[in-house]
């Protein structure tokens, strides 16, 4: 932490920096397009005349960026949603830091995430990854009545569509997210828009690479594709802002379901995620996972990145008290991909369903193992063949004592959409700042 600065101030500075990057969307993207345009103009006229429509395309790109800017402006207008009391935001906004290219790319990927989560056109991509999770849950809870009060947590929920879909089906669903880009955008979509299709955006307009037909670049999507207020009375919907490990790390036996989609590989230490997921689930609860093992910290030299194969990972499940009930590998899914792009990255995903069979206290297991090793060292006969300690038994330790539940903001949709708004808007500032400040990577934009 910088000397003299409170965690709240550092977090507020980060938030302001994110907003300032969002504000620069149009300017920055137009600069990028200006380079494409000027490179074309620099060509010898004998080449330029070969593609007479190019200038018209650049004009249209500029117009579409201006249309995107209308939605961006709406996001910026709602910036008060995540401001904390007691911070002098005017003076923070008065200073403007340098442009961070990575952060700039986040706002463009946020527009693509809008396409993935909240457009008709994104439905096929959603079906690939949210589909198996939703089908598994509706199979387990076939009627709306049976879903009432069933608590589902979706960590790393991005723009929140899976959470909303589950609430729409009658579950009590909670999303958790730590990226301000995601939080503020989903806040606007879920709380501030009046009707389906209110904004038109062009999520791929700035990408001139791998475009088959010129028109593909101008793929327009209207967001949201649904009336976000359309939730059954028995459902619940809430969003919790903050780092997953901080928000749920001390919870015990709270949840019926944890649904992770493209999330578990965002960890510095994936086994720590598994430990928290296991502890937060009730005995008999289910962890449903869909996604690859991209390991988001892999290329970051200064970050820990525990990179296990799926085989290694699944071999730990029973120690965490999980019974692997279902496993499918090789399920294809794209992530915010243009449907007609000439370059499409398709992940070959794992879909898994684990039932938590028992409570496990990993610390107690480890202590037990240490004790056994010590014991075998003390009493081992002095023969070299008897030197290796016996492996730790994978037995369950006593149930961890239940701890006070942290930061949960579950609402009941019975009290209308206002409840949805309240749960998102009332994410108390201290909760957010404390969580983000304590996380190993407080600049929380990894997606």
Ligand X SMILES: C[S@@+](CC[C@H](N)C(=O)[O-])C[C@H]1O[C@@H](n2cnc3c(N)ncnc32)[C@H](O)[C@@H]1O
Residues in the site for ligand X, rule: CB under 6 A? 116, 129, 155-158, 176-179, 182, 243-244, 261-263, 266, 446-447
Bridge partners, residue 201, by sequence: 221
Q: How far is CA 139 from the centre of its chain?
A: 25
Peptide bond connecting 224 to the previous residue in cis, omega within 30 degrees of 0? yes
Residue nearer to ligand X on the CB measure, 28 or 112: 112
CB of 441 to ligand X, least distance (A): 8
CB 354 within 8 A of CB 142: no
| H helix runs in 24-122, sequence order | 25-42, 45-48, 54-77, 89-94, 101-118
CB 186 within 8 A of CB 240: no
| H helix runs in 123-269, sequence order | 123-140, 144-147, 161-168, 180-187, 244-248
Give the sheet arrangement for strand 346-356, strand by strand: 236-241, 172-177, 151-155, 255-261, 281-291, 346-356, 322-334
Residue nearer to ligand X on the CB measure, 204 or 211: 204
CB of 7 to ligand X, least distance (A): 17
**Listed residue (71, 90, 92) closest to 18, CA to CA:** 92
Give dist(CA 64, CA 29) in Å, integer.
Answer: 11
Q: In terms of C-beta density within 10 A (0-12 exposed, 13-18 middle, 19 or more buried), how is residue 7 classed?
A: middle
CB of 335 to ligand X, least distance (A): 7
CB 255 within 8 A of CB 174: no
CB of 259 to ligand X, least distance (A): 9
Residue nearer to ligand X on the CB measure, 294 or 394: 294
Residue nearer to ligand X on the CB measure, 61 or 181: 181
Residue nearer to ligand X on the CB measure, 64 or 81: 81
CB of 66 to ligand X, least distance (A): 27
Residue nearer to ligand X on the CB measure, 181 or 322: 181
Residue nearer to ligand X on the CB measure, 285 or 291: 291
Residue nearer to ligand X on the CB measure, 176 or 251: 176
CB of 369 to ligand X, least distance (A): 28
| Position closest to ligand X via CB | 156
CB of 172 to ligand X, least distance (A): 18
CB of 176 to ligand X, least distance (A): 5
Query: 11's torsion region: left (phi>0), alpha (psi -120 to 50) or beta?
Result: alpha
């Amino acid at each position: 932490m910088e000397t003299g600065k409170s965690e709240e101030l550092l977090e507020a500075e980060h938030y302001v920096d994110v907003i300032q990057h969002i504000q620069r969307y149009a300017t920055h993207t137009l600069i990028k397009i200006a380079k494409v345009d000027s490179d074309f103009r620099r060509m010898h006229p004998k080449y330029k005349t070969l593609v007479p429509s190019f200038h018209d395309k650049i004009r249209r790109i500029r117009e579409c960026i201006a249309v995107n800017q209308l939605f961006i402006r709406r996001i910026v207008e709602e910036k008060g949603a995540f401001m904390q009391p007691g911070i002098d935001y005017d003076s923070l906004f008065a200073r403007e830091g340098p442009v961070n290219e990575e952060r700039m790319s986040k706002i463009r990927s946020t527009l693509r995430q809008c396409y993935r989560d909240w457009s008709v056109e994104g439905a096929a991509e959603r079906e690939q990854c949210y589909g198996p999770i939703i089908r598994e849950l509706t199979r387990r809870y076939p009627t709306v009545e049976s879903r009432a009060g069933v608590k589902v947590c979706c960590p790393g929920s991005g723009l929140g569509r899976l959470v909303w879909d589950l609430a729409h089906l009658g579950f009590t669903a909670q999303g958790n997210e730590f990226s301000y880009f995601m939080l503020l955008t989903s806040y606007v979509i879920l709380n501030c828009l009046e009707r389906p299709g209110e904004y038109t955006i062009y999520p791929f307009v700035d990408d001139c690479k791998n475009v088959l037909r010129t028109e593909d670049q101008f793929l327009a999507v209207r967001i949201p594709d649904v009336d976000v207020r359309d939730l059954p009375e028995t459902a619940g919907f809430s969003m919790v802002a903050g780092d997953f490990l901080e928000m749920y790390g001390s919870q015990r036996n709270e949840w019926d379901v944890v649904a992770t989609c493209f999330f578990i590989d965002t960890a510095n230490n994936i086994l720590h995620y598994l430990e928290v997921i296991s502890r937060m689930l009730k005995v008999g609860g289910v962890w449903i996972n869909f996604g690859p093992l991209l390991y988001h910290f892999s290329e970051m030299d200064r970050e820990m990145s525990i990179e296990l194969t799926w085989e290694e990972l699944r071999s730990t499940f029973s120690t965490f008290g999980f019974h692997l009930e279902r496993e499918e590998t090789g399920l294809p899914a794209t992530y915010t991909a243009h449907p007609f792009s000439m370059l499409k990255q398709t992940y070959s995903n794992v879909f898994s369903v684990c039932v938590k069979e028992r409570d496990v206290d990993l610390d107690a297991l480890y202590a037990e193992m240490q004790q056994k090793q010590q014991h075998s060292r003390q009493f081992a006969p002095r023969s070299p063949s008897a030197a290796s300690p016996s492996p730790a038994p994978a037995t369950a330790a006593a149930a961890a004592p239940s701890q006070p539940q942290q930061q949960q903001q579950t609402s009941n949709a019975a009290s209308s959409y206002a409840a949805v708004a309240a749960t998102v808007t009332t994410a108390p500032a201290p909760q957010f700042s404390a969580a983000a400040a304590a996380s190993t990577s407080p600049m929380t934009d990894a997606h």
